[in-house]
Structure 1
Amino acid sequence: MHGVIGLLVGVAAIFAFSASGFFFTSDEKVTVIETRHLVHKLVEQNFDSKNQRSIRKQITECLRDSYQYLAMSMYFDQAEVALPGFHKMFKEYSNREMSNAVKLMTYMNLREGSNKFLGIPEPRISYEWHDGETALITALRMEHKANTKFQTIIQLALEKNDPHLKQFIEDNFLDQKVKIIKELGDKVTQLGKYSSEKKGLGLQMFDNTLL
């Protein structure tokens, strides 16, 4: 008899705890999910899906450029090429593009965007780079392309009324790209002068300036 009474008291206690909210109900679980979704939307601050896609594409582009510059850097570090200045310069370019990709990923998190990691194409290796000038022109084309893509992101941000994204791209990338394009253009001109004036030693002497 005492056992039955104890069992009934235990069941009553469970119902009492459930009614008081001690145990989560299915409705409360839904409320938690809805709250998280609300927080996500509030932090997202109307971050348009097209703007997010444009940034994800640019992250992939930055990673691809970093991979390409790394391949170029390693090419000039080979014993049969042995141009340490070019090796150093393109290694720095590779690091810069990786940094750019991380900046964009961090921005996506800041705005509660969705980071998705896509495949990176295999870098191209060209034995034509051995003259130095061809490698500089390759880099110059890469930077022109990147600059155009960043401008496209800004244009889309304007269309979607996203001034924060526009300002972020302008402050962190546009000025950088304009300066690098000018820098590479100067280097092409300087290498041409070294090559014409110093004959066979021109490339080696120019490479020393990169160190």
Structure 2
Amino acid sequence: MAEPRLKKHRGSLPACPGHRLVAGSRVRQSFPAAVEEGLCAVTSAVLELSYRLQALGEIFDQADVALPNFSKFFQHQAEEEKEVAEALLKYLQERGGHYCPRVLQRPNCQPISTVVKALEVALVQWKKVTAYFEELYALSIENTDPHSASTIKKQFIEPKIKKIKLIGDLLTNAHRLECSRDGRGNLGDYLMERLQKELKEDRIVGALWLMTPTPLHSFLGSASAKAQNLICNVSPPCNISIKATRIIKCQH
């Protein structure tokens, strides 16, 4: 018998209007409907963040911008967020929950062509997603779901806090070097590209991946093999493919 739908939680947590509970799940136990719906909505928000970061990475790879280290940085962050979404999907499956695929709109990143603006956008997006996780954590506590609360706090909130600190530091250095904001670029943009150690590929692989605690990867399981079914890397970033999700394509 399906658990009754709880009263809607008021707050900034995104809604999942078409969410439905899976009746007769044999593995479902003490998994409140409100928490399941919140997890479903936050998963979509993380996918949107991944898509936006991928779009930023493509912008810095264009010939008229030509900041390849920033491109690799944002592309890597997009891959990390995709793995976070996979971990959320895996957790939903383990608890007997159900994910509702939705359409992801193309991110409006065309006006962004400078380091400062890109970092500001990334910082705002990570803060927003972190706030969703924090509200989802509070919702789990409110609905007496300690397992979800512990998982959300340790595996998703703590890594996001470290990521916000990293982007904040990069933005501080960009302002210190007086990076451009008008899209024309200057010496500050070039120095950030060449000197900022966090942007180096070996530092990204060796250091930024360690920001995610090891237990996070335990939720991935076989989901890693299905990564391409969740999001397909595209260039330019106008299309995105999500399993069982209708696609909206940009018409150039």
Give TM class, smaller chain. Answer: 0.7 to 0.9
Residue 112 of structure 1 aligns with an amino acid whose one-letter code is G
CA-to-aligned-CA distance 1:140-179 (integer Å, 9 cap, x gap): 0001101100011001101110000001101111111111
Secondary structure at the aligned position of 1:130 is classed as coil
For the residue of structure 2 that corresponds to 1:77, the secondary structure is coil
Match of 1:176 among 152, 159, 169: 159
Matched residue, 1:205:
191
Find the partner of 1:141 among 115, 124, 143. Answer: 124
> What one-letter code is carried by the residue in structure 1 that aligns with 2:74?
F
Identity score, percent: 28
Residue identity matched to 1:74: E
Cα distance in 2, alignment partners of residues 58 and 164 from structure 1:
17
Letter of the 1:71 counterpart? A
Deviation at 1:202, TM superposition (A): 1.6
Q: 5 Å matches for 1:1-211?
A: 37=24, 40-41=25-26, 43-127=27-111, 129-195=112-178, 200-208=186-194, 209=196, 210-211=199-200
TM-score of the superposition, structure 1-length normalised?
A: 0.77
Q: Which runs of 5+ in 1 are unaligned?
A: 1-35
Q: Whose helix fraction is larger, Structure 1's or Structure 2's?
A: 1
- Aligned AA (2:32): D
The 2-side partners of 1:131 and 1:122 are apart by 20
Q: Which amino acid aligns with 2:76?
A: E
4+ long deviations beyond 6 Å: none
Distance in 2, Cα, partners of 1:195 & 1:204: 11
Q: TM-score normalised to the size of structure 2?
A: 0.65
Greater gyration radius: 1
Instruction: Look up the equivalent residue of 1:102 and give its one-letter code.
Output: E
1:161 aligned counterpart, secondary structure: coil
Aligned-residue Cα RMSD (Å) equals: 1.6
Amino acid at match of 1:154: Y
Q: In structure 1, what is the Cα distance between the partners aligned to 2:64 and 2:71?
A: 13
Taking the aligned partners of 1:130 and 1:108, their CA distance within structure 2 comes to 37
